[in-house]
Amino acid sequence: MAVFTAVSLDDVSEWIKQFPLGKALAVRGIASGIENSNFFITTESGEHVLTIFENLSFEQLPFYLNLMRHLAERGVLVPAPVANDKGELIVPLHGKPAAIVSKLEGSSQMAPQPAHCAAVGAMLARMHLAARDFPLTQPNLRGLDWWNAVTPTVLPFLSDSNAHLLRAEMHFQESYATCEHYKRLARGPVHADLFRNNVMFVGERLAGFFDFYFAGCDTWLFDVAVTVNDWCIDLDTGVLDEARVRAMLDAYHAVRPFTAHEQASWQPMLRAAALRFWLSRLFDFYQPRAAEMLTPHDPTHFERILRERIATPAPRLF
Ligand SMILES: Nc1ncnc2c1ncn2[C@@H]1O[C@H](COP(=O)(O)OP(=O)(O)OP(=O)(O)O)[C@@H](O)[C@H]1O
Ligand SMILES: N[C@@H](CCO)C(=O)O
């Protein structure tokens, strides 16, 4: 497990008095996160999740917490942050920023069927529409500028073939980002990390999206591409599964119709979404952050997906 700030029931009992949740009855650490310290908290008013942010600052957090609140108020299934008696969503605990959100029911669906992909596609489109009037802006902090910053730090570790792939793809993406189709893509707040492990299901019923801490303003199509690249693939080969792709895209399109500019940008965007996670996994693999005892995710998975998206024509968006 990663850095973990220990929190006892005594610590929480005092701290939670500022929230309208009643007494804290139990605290249980959640072992699976790698970015933050998470705890299930049982209070007199029910189950909640306490997150202590290990890497994000007090300045970056209002965008994420307020976005979740905005979406929850509009009926999108996301954890609702709870404000303290001063109306604050981010309150220090042990000197680090912390927040309490509602606990989603269910569990992650790690072997999704078309019905799950359809539910995710429809909710993703609803989320994009519901965030249109969200007043805060923050760029996608893992966008093109970050790719440019990280590329030279990982290139020395790569084989000739992978270094060539990375340079060529960066060149392609930089050039694509200046074209007319790209400039006309719809934009707004996006989740940007909607993998299988960030969605809860109860059977085939979607119970919610969570882990908004890579969210930022970017093209909606990028969000769709990130999601398709994880939910709709054969995990061994990275090849897209036609039935799951169709289910997700058709369900999204029924709520928020795709445009011709998005159709023209679909293959470049599937490549961009693969590149983004190849780069972050390479970065975590070769430049691991100090004080973290993590097994980094396998970068080869996204190298394979990127090569596959370059080689194979993308399915139609609609
Ligand atoms: N609102 C919530 N409702 C129910 N469970 C939650 C909620 N938030 C987090 N969890 C649980 O805590 C685990 C870790 O949360 P999360 O993925 O946000 O942590 P993280 O440290 O940002 O992890 P990572 O970056 O590895 O995905 C999740 O897998 C989930 O089981
Ligand atoms: N979803 C990312 C991890 C960061 O949440 C990955 O699989 O590389």
Between CA 268 and CA 40 the distance in angstroms is 40
Total of domains in the chain: 2
* Complex ipTM value: 0.94
Q: Is the pLDDT of residue 1 over 60?
A: no
pLDDT, tens digit, for every residue of 62-99?
Answer: 999 999 999 999 999 999 999 999 999 999 999 999 99
Residue 213 has, within 13 A of its CA and on its CB side, a CA count of 18
User: What's the domain range around 98?
Assistant: 9-102
Is residue 223 in contact with ligand 2, taking CB distance under 6 Å?
no
Q: What is the pLDDT of residue 5?
A: 82
Residue 297 sits in the same domain as residue 151: yes
Residue 154 sits in the same domain as residue 292: yes
Ligand 2 mutation pick, 194, 214, 231, max ligand atoms within 8 A of CB: 214
Is residue 35 in contact with ligand 1, taking CB distance under 6 Å?
yes
pLDDT, tens digit, for every residue of 171-187?
Answer: 999 999 999 999 999 99
Q: What is the pLDDT of residue 33?
A: 66
Is residue 49 in contact with ligand 1, taking CB distance under 6 Å?
yes
Q: What is the pLDDT of residue 290?
A: 53
pLDDT, tens digit, for every residue of 208-255?
Answer: 999 999 999 999 999 999 999 999 999 999 999 999 999 999 999 999
Q: Would you tell me the crossing angle of helices 61-73 and 114-130 to the nearest 10 degrees? A: 110
Residue 87 sits in the same domain as residue 194: no
Asked if 68 contacts 81 with a C-beta cutoff of 8 angstroms, the reply is yes
CATH number at residue 15: 3.30.200.20
What's the pTM?
0.96
Is residue 208 in contact with ligand 1, taking CB distance under 6 Å?
no
Using alpha carbons only, give the angle 294, 63, 250 rounded to the nearest 5 degrees.
80
Q: Would you tell me the crossing angle of helices 220-231 and 114-130 to the nearest 10 degrees? A: 160
Return the ligand number nearest the Cα of 198.
Answer: 1
In a domain, residue 125? The reply is: yes
Residue 144 sits in the same domain as residue 221: yes
Is residue 82 in contact with ligand 1, taking CB distance under 6 Å?
no
Is residue 230 in contact with ligand 2, taking CB distance under 6 Å?
no
Q: What is the pLDDT of residue 130?
A: 98
Residue 89 sits in the same domain as residue 142: no
pLDDT, tens digit, for every residue of 146-157?
Answer: 999 999 999 999
Pick from 31, 30, 32, 25: which is nearest to 40 by CA?
30
Last residue of a domain, one of 40, 72, 102: 102
Last residue of a domain, one of 102, 136, 169: 102
Q: What is the pLDDT of residue 294?
A: 59
Dihedral sign, CA of 46, 127, 211, 111? positive
Ligand 1 mutation pick, 27, 210, 295, max ligand atoms within 8 A of CB: 210
In a domain, residue 317? The reply is: no
DSSP 265-277: HHHHHHHHHHHHH
Between CA 161 and CA 261 the distance in angstroms is 32
Residue 62 sits in the same domain as residue 179: no
Q: Is the pLDDT of residue 291 over 50?
A: no
In a domain, residue 19? The reply is: yes
Is residue 195 in contact with ligand 2, taking CB distance under 6 Å?
yes
